[in-house]
Chain A
């Protein structure tokens, strides 16, 4: 049953299985064990990024295509919801229209980009996506009467999802059962479903062809696989899931603007999360997203503590100043890439595999 749900792609490492359980449990229990709005927001962001990073890994890790336009599709999803709910008001119809319209726009764009430019060499493809993404970002801030420009759009969501909505008067285990909580659990449910769907895709016969193309495109063609069509399909699928991640972001924040969903900074974060977690393993996206976002949000707090503790020591005090958190994140990143080139999940699986084969050899 579990094997089928995970598409036969079990964690294959006890440490990894434990990590995944801890992440899932942590997310599910966040409202009860970590009080406060910040913790809930961090947990929600982890969910959204699990979907986004997984969709990027489908393209980068599994198919071997380097694209810088991934946040563009994320942004299309977020703008789809933002614009639709601004126009139609806070209705479920607005949500549906937003999701469908965003998916349609992403479908067409990713198909066109794929068909026109996947024939060129990897480097040029990366450049083309960079150009398209920049153009899109400029357009999003220029068409301000539609998109709200630099200020973005704040909008109302259907009542069920608003903090004002209440399931029952009395709080449950000290947590009020409001619309924010409902949104949070819906978000987790959608994340789990989308993740499992992507896990199925990468473990399908189709997903296996993608990996073959990543390994040796020339040979895949000689086997009879039309690689352009597979690469384009991968491009489109990955864009669809990124778009859905964008719609989740907008519904959670009840706001969207260029910096929230389109910025190049998110693109860089995405790359870091995929690499830290382990390219070509969807579980890596979960681990990478969770670790990175927790670090991004709590490393500064941790450093603040260390800063107060070391207030008297001149050089150390400056080094652990909260403003230096990016420096430390950078060092952590370089160390992890240097020590674990296959990412956290890649290395966990490798060492588990070594242990198993060694045990088998010793009888």
Chain B
């Protein structure tokens, strides 16, 4: 089976600091891989290299076996790499619906159409409304994104990613800062994606119970390097994770 996504020796240096160091890793379609590691381990930077916000100093990113290292972020997005951001990254003064609608519109390829009225494309609006329903934000559709409470902004962030309908879903701490009763909405969405079994999901997450429940596989980044890779139970139990991630001093 060809890999949905693969990184080969992916590296980025900022001056003398190596933020991501020769990470080689393949992701099979239909699987959910959790990426864990302490703060500053390079998880978000690794994501940025895959989705194109940063250009690698060395190494390659392959999508369905094709090298996409030379492509820009928008090109990679159109090829099916979808990304939700760790720090909420919305269109603050546009309505909740418009935030989603823009993502649907991007997929429809209508962006350069400057002679039709945006609201005449009913299909796009209908699709945006479906996504809005899925992230439980229908009641707030006309509010400005900046007027939403933090938890709703996180939901909207995930909604935008859903609306892009990518092949590769990259979630960067989707539940960070959410209240306990809001988390299930997001987790159900991720479970739903996983159940479709044609999507590849990458998830950066700190909550170990979430990771244990959702993931098929865990990889561990530490100081920019891939230090462990395997099924959840084994990786969580391994000394290197206990030390690197959970900060437990392992007896020598």
Contact = CB atoms under 8 A, between A and B. Distances in A.
Contact of A226 (B72, B90, B93, B113): B72
Contacts of B164: 223-224
A116 B120 CA distance: 35
Contacts of A200: 114-115, 117
B74 A205 contact: no
Contact of B117 (A4, A222, A237): A4
Nearest to B101: A208
Interface stretch (A14-22, A153-161, A162-170, A209-217): A209-217
Most buried by B among A204, A215, A224, A237: A224
A259 to B, nearest CB: 34
Most buried by A among B107, B114, B119, B160: B114
B73 interface: yes
A219 B117 contact: no
B121 interface: yes
B116 interface: yes
Report whether over half of chain A's contact residues are helix, strand or loop; otherwise say mixed.
helix
Contacts of A226: 72, 74-75
Contact of B89 (A209, A216, A225): A216
A143 interface: no
B117 A8 contact: yes
Contacts of A94: none
A30 interface: no
B114 A204 contact: yes
Contacts of B51: 222
Contacts of B73: 221-222
B106 A208 contact: no
B117 to A, nearest CB: 5
A34 interface: no
A216 B77 contact: no
Interface in A192-249: 200-201, 203-209, 211-212, 215-216, 218-227, 230, 233, 237
B118 A219 contact: no
A215 B94 contact: yes
Nearest to B84: A222
Interface residues of A, number: 29
B78 interface: yes
A207 B94 contact: no
A350 to B, nearest CB: 11
A193 B72 CA distance: 38
A7 interface: yes
How many B residues are at the interface, by size bracket? Answer: 35 or more
Nearest to B89: A219
B105 interface: yes
Contact of A207 (B89, B101, B114, B160): B114
Given A200-B115, A225-B74, A226-B72, A208 B105 contact: yes
Contacts of B115: 200-201, 204
A8 B103 CA distance: 21
B227 interface: no
B92 interface: yes
Contacts of B247: none
Contacts of A211: 91, 94
B113 A219 contact: no
B113 A206 contact: yes
Interface string B75-108: 1011000010100011111100010011101110
Contacts of B94: 211-212, 215
Nearest to B105: A205
B89 A203 contact: no
A219 B94 CA distance: 13
A309 B222 CA distance: 81
B77 A206 contact: no
Interface string B19-53: 00000000000000000000000000000000101
B113 A218 contact: no
Contacts of B121: 205
B68 to A, nearest CB: 14
A20 B166 CA distance: 45
Nearest to A226: B74
A237 to B, nearest CB: 8
Contacts of B92: 215-216
Interface string B142-180: 000000000000000000100010000000000000000
Contact of A209 (B72, B85, B102): B102
A8 B121 CA distance: 12
B111 interface: yes
Contacts of A227: 74
Contacts of A219: 85, 89-91
Contacts of A207: 114, 118
Interface of A: 4, 7-8, 200-201, 203-209, 211-212, 215-216, 218-227, 230, 233, 237
9 smallest beta-carbon distances between A and B, as pairs: A206-B114, A224-B77, A215-B91, A224-B106, A205-B110, A224-B78, A204-B114, A223-B106, A205-B113
6 contacts: A200-B114, A207-B118, A209-B102, A216-B90, A219-B85, A224-B77
Given A207-B118, A209-B111, A222-B77, 15 more contacts: A204-B114, A205-B105, A205-B112, A205-B118, A206-B111, A209-B105, A211-B91, A212-B94, A221-B77, A222-B51, A222-B83, A223-B103, A224-B77, A224-B164, A227-B74
